[in-house]
Amino acid sequence: MNGDRHGKLVIRIPGELSEISRLPALVEDFGLRSGLPAALVATLNLVLEELVANTVTYGYDEDGTRHPDRAIEIRLSRHRDTVTLVVEDDAKPFDPTLREAPDTEAALDDRDAGGLGIHFVRTLMDTVEYCRVADRNRLTMTKTIPT
């Protein structure tokens, strides 16, 4: 299905954990319009959830997962064989690319679940770049569409 090889999705969501429930339908619609394979859509869904959940849970000074006055901006686009995902927020400065990866070889007793979200993002996307611009965190990720 190579009909439309260029597509774009731009959404702004409030900093609320419940917004995670809304994203899959939007991403799947983008995937259909842009001719993306189902596996790639699944990857984007997971990556987006992990990033939004982290921001909402840890990114603001106030506790909790409901920050309706804060916003997260998501930009998804396809150009030829590359999908680009940009996630931007006004949360505290945080560069996920600096996080140490979890030890995925550790035994059960030594494992904890910390850092898994970021690990998925860095493992599943081909490129992950962070910058802090105008008091905002911006994470730009790309993935090449398998032929």
Partner 1 sequence: MTQPSTEHDRPPLELSEYRDNDTLVLAVSGRIDAVTAKLFETAVLTQVQSSKTPLVLDLDRLKYISSAGLRVILLAAKQQKLKNVKFALCNLHDEVRDVFEISGFAKILDIHPSREAALGV
- Letters for 15-54 (x = contact with partner 1 by CB under 8 A, - = none) are --xx-xx--x--------------x--x--xx--xx--x-
Which token pair is 104? Answer: 């995925």
Cite the beta strand spans of the chain per DSSP E: 6-16, 66-79, 82-89, 127-133, 136-144
Per CB under 8 A, 145 contacts partner 1? no
Measured from the CB atom, the residue of 110 and 135 that comes closer to partner 1 is 110
Per CB under 8 A, 14 contacts partner 1? no
- H/E stretch holding 101: none
Measured from the CB atom, the residue of 34 and 45 that comes closer to partner 1 is 45
Per CB under 8 A, 98 contacts partner 1? no
Burial of 46 (0-12, 13-18, 19+ CB in 10 A): middle
- Letters for 56-75 (x = contact with partner 1 by CB under 8 A, - = none) are -x------------------
Stretch that binds partner 1, among 27-35, 71-79, 104-112, 136-144 (CB under 8 A): 104-112
Which token pair is 145? Answer: 């569409």
Stretch that binds partner 1, among 6-14, 90-98, 107-115, 130-138 (CB under 8 A): 107-115
Q: Which residue, among 56, 86, 53, 50, has the nearest Cα to 69 in the 3D structure?
A: 56
Asked whether the beta carbons of 65 and 14 are under 8 A apart, the reply is: no
The single residue among 66, 73, 102, 142 that binds partner 1, judged by CB under 8 A, is 102
* Angle of helix 38-58 versus helix 116-124 axis, rounded to 10: 140
Site residue total, partner 1 (CB under 8 A): 30
